[in-house]
Structure 1
Amino acid sequence: MRPLPFALLGLGLLAGCASQPHDPSGTWINQAAIAAASRGGPLREALLAYGPNLEWRLDPQRQRASYSNGYEQDEGRLVSLDEQRLRVDFYGDYQEFLDLDGDELVQAASGTWPEQRFVRAPAAAADHVPAGGRFERALYDAYLGGTWRIAEGLGEGGLVLFHSDGRVEGLPGAQRYALCLAGDCAAMSGEFDSLWLQLGEQGQAWLFERDGERMGIFAALNRAQADEMPDYHKGPRRWLLQRD
């Protein structure tokens, strides 16, 4: 498996998908995880409840399939068992089974994962988006879309816009952002959700707490030694945002 970077920034959109009812081609995203996150609670808790896999990409013509869990991706050989059932063979004699169930792609429960359901990502014009990018773009739009007001903190009273391509407007000291979905950044922040804020070439991790239409962003205090993996804990609150 190949680790994905903490921030999948600068996202585009993948090419449009085929519309045949039994054609699995294209990108499928875990809409249930997005819906759970959009209710405004802890982010990684919602992703784990309906994941951990977040996106599948299927290419029957090349007999290739890959999935992303927000941190890692793996690619295998796609085998059609019948009109609605597929098998993905991965390196090391590891397999996953996928079924077309109406408008959904169902990843069968296994010894590794629970059953997970995916919907086809909307057709789009651009391609070459990183693995997991279609899911991430949809998540950003659902979880942080709309207009936020700075209720407390630097820039109080100003409006903040989080764009689905990773740009942020109105948050002092930041031009881009990325939510931590899984992997090292999750291990570093323990029980807390985290995000990356960047201005130019400079950036840093922050912790955040989401409660409905309110979101607090806190300094991430590192309690680890210099030669250890960072161990972030919640520091002073820098901003309190309220979604209008």
Structure 2
Amino acid sequence: MRHALVFSLVAALLGGCASHANVDPNGIWINQNAIDAAAKGVSLRQALLANGLILEWHVNTVASQASYSNGFEQGEGKLMADTPGKWTVDFYGSHSEALQLKGDELLQSASDNGPQQSFVKPKTTLDPAAPPGTAFEEALYGAYMGGNWKIVEGPGTGSVVHFAANGQLDGIEGLDRYALCLAGDCAAMSGEYDSMWMEKNQQGNAYIFKRDGNTLEILEAVNQAKADDMPDLHPGARRWLLKK
């Protein structure tokens, strides 16, 4: 009986190791920790900054390539195998990053460029032709903006608003698309504040927003910069107040 029990434990351990070894490193990996932090209904900027700089990895062992997205720009490097389950991504001499599989996660080791980060495969299938960063963006939009929002103050009071994971917007008259600011120029222009772009027929405006649990406050973005300087956006008058 004792031998049978020992055999069962060994088999279970080997089975667990085999299941991890069979995880396919190829494909898209997203920063789920950043999404989970934001989904609690907090500041998007703070959630992203607290959970690393890289939002998405694309790994292709066949082509020996790996690329990342930080929400604004992409970087592509040469993927080189180290020991089984570990790789180095060389960004053509500028810097390198170390990746490894651990269970069902892809880990990016801590480096001079940032802390250790972990990534998982997205739950939904993505169009192969989609731009880099789309998988993270859609997962974030679904978790952070998804659900039924009701306008309690502002134009269209009483209407139900839907922010779709693909950026479509329904329920606010005169608007049908939105995009959250994740990084880059829009983040530099809005500084410490969260911002989004809303439009219809490619005509729209930037807005400052404040998220507090099930409350979403959307405010006018007031530019305090001089005419020749980069825009410096600050919260203005409240345009809409929505509750989930």
Fold agreement, TM-score > 0.5: yes
Contact (CA 8 Å) 1:22, 1:84: kept in 2 or not?
Answer: no
The residue that corresponds to 2:239 in the other structure is: 238
TM-score normalized by the length of structure 1: 0.90
Contact (CA 8 Å) 2:45, 2:192: kept in 1 or not?
Answer: no
TM-score normalized by the length of structure 2: 0.90
Q: Which runs of structure 2 are paired with 1:1-244 in the superposition (5 Å)?
A: 21-122=22-123, 124=125, 126-243=127-244
Deviates more, 1:186-195 or 1:91-100: 91-100
Amino acid at match of 1:223: Q
1:203/1:227 CA distance change after superposition, 3 Å:
same
In 2: Cα distance, 1:217 partner to 1:240 partner: 6
Contact (CA 8 Å) 1:197, 1:206: kept in 2 or not?
Answer: yes
The structural deviation recorded for 1:93 is 4.1
The structural deviation recorded for 1:225 is 1.4
For structure 1, the residue ranges without an aligned partner over 5 or more in a row are 1-18
In 2: Cα distance, 1:125 partner to 1:43 partner: 23
- Higher helix proportion (structure 1 or 2): 2
In 2: Cα distance, 1:32 partner to 1:79 partner: 26
Amino acid at match of 1:50: N
In 2: Cα distance, 1:222 partner to 1:205 partner: 10
In 1: Cα distance, 2:95 partner to 2:202 partner: 40
Select the structure with the greater relative contact order (CA < 8 A; seq sep ≥ 6): 1
Amino acid at match of 1:143: Y
For structure 2, the residue ranges without an aligned partner over 5 or more in a row are 1-19
- Higher strand proportion (structure 1 or 2): 1
In 2: Cα distance, 1:173 partner to 1:229 partner: 27
How many percent identity over aligned positions? 52
Q: RMSD of the TM alignment (CA)?
A: 1.3
The residue that corresponds to 1:13 in the other structure is: none
1:125/1:208 CA distance change after superposition, 3 Å:
closer
Q: Which has the larger radius of gyration?
A: 2
